Amino acid sequence: MKEIKTNYYTQLPHIQPIGATFFVTFRLIDSLPKVVVSLLKDAYEKKISLLQKEKPEFFFTEKQTLRKAYFKVFETELDHTQYGNHWLKNPGVAQIVADKMHQYDNEYYELIAYCIMSNHVHLVISTHIQADEWEAFEKEDKEYMQLYDIMHRIKGGSAFKANKILGRKGAFWQKDSFDYYTRNKKELQNIIRYVLENPVKAGLVENARDWEFSYLKPEWEHQI
């Protein structure tokens, strides 16, 4: 059976416990200037390095706070930049991405919410449906579909079809994604609100329900 990575580092740190609920943000290739990405990453890593030297009592909590702050700045840049590609403004392209996220619902994850912006996508999924059957997976020697594999399928499949619509070839998505696993229900509710309100905060609509390419699982509507 293939080794499952639950903690690894690429351009970003990734902690992906089996069966966790994840908030994922993935963006188009070259959607931000490389110098901006580099500056943000360097500032974040310097703060993390300083935190590691100081070794505060609540190191993990403070580290998570820094990571959230880094993401918010990064998100603000994505929402307001005129730089780079905004292919997701094309309704046909956005629909391809939406369809691909729905395709694996109830197979590899429970699809809770998403919001497709012009140059990036927010996604909230729970992989508990795989974890609940983990013993069966082991006995039958089946593969557990970890988050990095799930994202590969979503991004790979949607990129191929989107490029056909756009009449182009080459990379469509930025290789890495930001992912964060939620610790409790309250945090998850806050994240879902954040995802759905993204177009409102970006000044694109007055009401989150007016954004065409967003989704909330019906069972969650009374909880948000």
Task: Output the domain CATH number for residue 21.
Answer: 3.30.70.1290
Buried b (16+ CB within 10 A) or exposed e, 150-162: bbeebbebbbebb
Copy the structure tokens of residue 172: 């469509």
Nearby residues of 138 by Cβ (< 8 Å), 6 or more positions away: 1
Q: Please tell me whether residues 53 and 100 are part of one structural domain.
A: no
State pLDDT tens for residues 114-128: 999 999 999 999 999
- Average confidence score pLDDT of the chain: 84
Between 41 and 128, the higher pLDDT residue: 128
Looking at residue 8, what is its pLDDT? 47
Q: How many domains does the chain have?
A: 2
Q: Using 50, 70 and 90 to split pLDDT, how confident is the model at 134?
A: low
In a domain, 55, yes or no: yes
Q: Please tell me whether residues 199 and 218 are part of one structural domain.
A: yes
From 83, 99, 124, the end of a domain falls on 83
Place of tokens 């497709």: 116
- Mean pLDDT across 51-66: 74
From 23, 51, 83, the end of a domain falls on 83
In a domain, 1, yes or no: no
How many other CB atoms sit within 10 Å of the CB of residue 175? 10
19 dihedral zone (left: phi>0; alpha: psi -120 to 50; beta): left
Q: Please tell me whether residues 67 and 178 are part of one structural domain.
A: no
Spacing of C-alpha 125 from chain mean position: 9
For the chain, what is the radius of gyration of the CA atoms? 18
Between 130 and 87, the higher pLDDT residue: 87
Please classify residue 125 by burial: count the beta carbons closer than 10 Å to its beta carbon, then call 0-12 exposed, 13-18 middle and 19+ buried: buried
- Predicted structure pTM score: 0.81
β 120-126/21-27 pair status: antiparallel
Domain that holds residue 142: 7-31+85-223
Q: Are 119 and 78 in contact (CB under 8 A)?
A: yes
Which H/E stretch holds residue 12?
none
Report in angstroms the alpha-carbon separations of 161 from 154, 180, 217: 11, 27, 25
